[in-house]
Structures are given as structure tokens and as C-alpha cells.
A and B are shown apart, each in its own frame.
Chain A
Amino acid sequence: MSSFDTSNIKSPWILHYDTGSCNGCDIEVLACLTPLYDVERFGILNVGNPRHADILVITGAANKRSARVLRNLYEQMPDPKMVVAVGICAVSGGVLHNCYNVLGGVDKVIPVDVYVPGCAARPEAIIDGIVLALQKIPEKRKLLKSREAKTA
């Protein structure tokens, strides 16, 4: 079990979804992949397929259009999965919170594990947020197991 946990921490594959951000946070997420930050050092890959992803990174506030897509992506990811909300828009709605079509933070639609505030969130902060999410994975796996045992 413990070797599974270490491999989980060493190889997080990330799916990035933009629910309607101003692209400020998107650029910072992509900046993490550049030679300066090089997140592949930690085994982090940016994949385009929810079936392969472990961590869902969301930028932008949830709105009525993107909520359905967001829920769909979340449901297609295999367990144990983590969700990281990047930028103040994704955390609480931010500057867009009282727009007519905005629902608020991403946690209005799906459960969020880590919040990374900032406008835009710095690449260092995003990496910190992902590391925090990784540390929570063993906990989450235990939780899933106990829940499974209860339903069975």
C-alpha cells in the first residue's frame, strides 16, 4: 500500500480546465511547464484526457455554461482524484462574483480539495497547491476505502 502512495505522489498527471477565466491564470499554469519551473521534475504531466488524469486544475469562476462540462470531466476521472482551484475566480468567483451568469467558486459545482488564491496565482503558488493536494492523496484513498466498505 505504501509503495502505491509514494508512486501516487511521484506521478501526478494533471488535467487543466478553464471554466471561464480571463486567461491570466491559464498562462501561469502553463508557465509551470516551462524550463524555468519544469514541473516534470516531479513527474507532473499535463494530460488532455480525464481518464488518465489524477488532479483536476481549474481556473476561472464556474458559470451556468461550464458547470455541466466541469461535472462531466470530474466524473470521468478515476479515483482517487483531487481538485485544485487556481486563482481567486475559481476560489470564490473573484471579480466576477456578481455577474448574472456566474454561479460563484468552483466548489459550487464539484468538491474542491485545495484552494490557490491570487490574481493571477503565481506559478510557485500553483506548484505549492499541487504538492498540498498530493499530500492529501493517501488520506483520500483511506476515505474511499472506508466508504466502499460501508456501502458493500
Chain B
Amino acid sequence: MFLNSGNTVLIVFMAVFVAPLIGGLLMGIDRILSARLQGRIGPPILQPFYDMMKLMSKKPISGTKIQIICVFVYLVSMILSLVLLMTGQDLLVMVLVLAMGSIFFILGGFSVKSPYSNIGAQREILQVLAYEPLIIFYVVAIYLKTGSFMTFKVFELKDPLLYSMPLFVVALIIIMVIKLRKSPFDLSTSHHAHQELVKGITTELSGRHLAVIELVHMYEMALLMVLAMLLFATNLWIGLALGLFCLFATIVIDNITARLTWSDMLRFAWKIGVPITALNLAVIYYFSIIKK
């Protein structure tokens, strides 16, 4: 599916229109699972779409024009990074585009007067700081295995990446918990009905501008799934199962832990996440030298 360059148009279409639908469904499943884990029944699976439609229908009262522009840039860069990933382009460029979107989101948070939004933006910087090294290591590990930063090279491998990078499953779960802002690291803004700093970085957004943020979450969900699928590119269904497993682990962690402070988050991501991935990188590097 990813290899055929004649299919590029189809893949771009999938990335732009089908991916958010899948991401939204996953968000619905996430809410139902969370409710079940808490002994409740939970909302219908289409709830994220209802939420988004409702937000679109409301009259927005938003803080500043700059924040609104930033929110749209955030959306565009998220879509762009998903398209880059799915069409088999450069992984490093994908990571940079992703980071650019986060930076605009943070700038938007700083541009309003609300102190909740400002503190949320500061914490968002720390979240980015916590997961970014893990994503970079992931990309570097793929480079060591394939000899290229291009995503489509992954699909030319005979053995799936999972066999040589098993520890990156742990890294992916850590990335998911931080990137999806799940407990214990829902610091900058929170999911579901949790409250932290009122609503953190999204405090001043309302109506259709908040709907854009919801849409970004849908793309984000799809992006993380595709990232996980890369680990088992020889059979994408197993890759998808792997991604769903990571998501399930994230949801369980979300429900059994309480919120920690930002310093705990940094300590966790850098003292546990980084050494684990570095160890795996070292092993891959060692074997690649032996081969030569």
C-alpha cells in the first residue's frame, strides 16, 4: 500500500480524510474503555464526532487572533506530518514538522492573558522536551536498520523492525502517554473530564477553535498508530495490532495512575525512556558493526 508511487494520491486522500475518522473512532473506543475500567457504561462510540459537531455549532468567544492562527497552523502541520509519514517520505522532516506544530500551539497558549493558558503552555514545552528525544531515537534506530531516513525503506526490509527494536514498544507507550496527554502526564491540558489548571493551554479556546484542537487529536491518534505500525511493516495487520496494544496499555496506565508533577515527567522520560531506547540503539549498532 505504501510502496506504490502510483497510489500516492490515494494515500494522501487517506491521510487527510480517512485518518481522522479512524482517529475519532479510536478516541471513542478510548472513552468507552476508560468508562468500563471505572465501572461505568460510557458514551456511544461516535461521541468524539458529536462533540466536534457541537463545538462547530457554537459561537466562539476566543482570546486573541494570534491564538486562532496558531491553532490552524497546528492543524496543518499535523496533517502534513501524517501525509509525509504515510507517503513514505523523510522521517526527520516529519519529526521537524510535528515539532513546528507543537511550537505554534505553545505560542498560541502564550498569546492570551489567561494565566492557566500560560502555565499550560509552559508545561507543553516540557512535554515536548520529554517525548522528542524518544521520537528522535526511534528515527535514528530505523536509520541504523535501513540505512536511510526514508520511511518507504522500512517496507523493503525482510524482517520486521520489531525483532531488532523490541524495547521501542516501551518507548512508544511512553510517547503515547505524554503526547496524548494521558494521566500521569496530563499536565498541559487534560483529556476527558479531568481538570488541571482549568483546561490548561486550551482554556481560552471555544466553539469551532476548540473543535480544531479535537480534530488535531484525531490526526494525532492516527499518526501514533502509523508510527507503531512501522515496527511491523511486513504485515501491517500485526503492526496495527501492535499499535492498538500500545494504545490499550496507555489507557490502562491513564486509569490506574494519578497525575505527577512536570519534574517527575522529565525524570521518567529521560531516566527510564532514554536509557532503554539508547540500550536498544547500542545493540543495533553493535550488530551492524559485526556484520561489516
Chain A residues at the B interface, C-beta cutoff of 8 Å? 3-4, 6-8, 10-11, 33, 35, 38, 40-43, 45-49, 51-52, 54, 76, 78-80, 141
- Tell me, rounded to whole Å, the shortest Cβ–Cβ distance linking A32 to chain B: 12
Point out the residues of chain B lying under 8 angstroms from A11, CB to CB: 47, 50-51, 53-54
Point out the residues of chain A lying under 8 angstroms from B158, CB to CB: none
Interface stretch among B74-82, B126-134, B203-211?
A: B203-211
Other-chain residue from B53, B54, B56, B61 in contact with A54 (beta carbon distance below 8 A): B54
Q: Would B54 and A8 count as touching, CB distance under 8 A?
A: yes
Q: Would A4 and B57 count as touching, CB distance under 8 A?
A: yes
Q: Would B53 and A78 count as touching, CB distance under 8 A?
A: no
Per the bound structure, the CA–CA distance linking A61 and B206 in Å amounts to: 29
Per the bound structure, the CA–CA distance linking A48 and B197 in Å amounts to: 9
Point out the residues of chain A lying under 8 angstroms from B203, CB to CB: 49, 51
B198 at the interface (CB under 8 A from A): yes
Also in contact, A78 and B206, with CB within 8 A (given A7-B50, A38-B41) = yes
- Tell me, rounded to whole Å, the shortest Cβ–Cβ distance linking A128 to chain B: 19
B39 at the interface (CB under 8 A from A): yes
Per the bound structure, the CA–CA distance linking A76 and B208 in Å amounts to: 16
Q: Would B38 and A35 count as touching, CB distance under 8 A?
A: yes
11 other A-B residue contacts (CB within 8 Å) besides A38-B41, A40-B43: A6-B50, A38-B35, A40-B42, A40-B193, A41-B40, A43-B44, A47-B195, A48-B198, A51-B199, A51-B210, A52-B206
Also in contact, A52 and B195, with CB within 8 A (given A11-B47, A79-B58) = no
Q: Would B193 and A47 count as touching, CB distance under 8 A?
A: yes
B292 at the interface (CB under 8 A from A): no
Per the bound structure, the CA–CA distance linking A54 and B58 in Å amounts to: 9
Point out the residues of chain A lying under 8 angstroms from B192, CB to CB: 45
- Tell me, rounded to whole Å, the shortest Cβ–Cβ distance linking A13 to chain B: 8
The 7 A-B pairs at the shortest CB distance, nearest first, are namely A7-B53, A4-B57, A51-B206, A48-B195, A10-B50, A35-B39, A38-B40
- Tell me, rounded to whole Å, the shortest Cβ–Cβ distance linking B218 to chain A: 15
Q: Would A76 and B57 count as touching, CB distance under 8 A?
A: no
**Nearest CB to that of B200 among chain A residues?**
A49
Also in contact, A41 and B51, with CB within 8 A (given A48-B195, A51-B205, A52-B206) = no
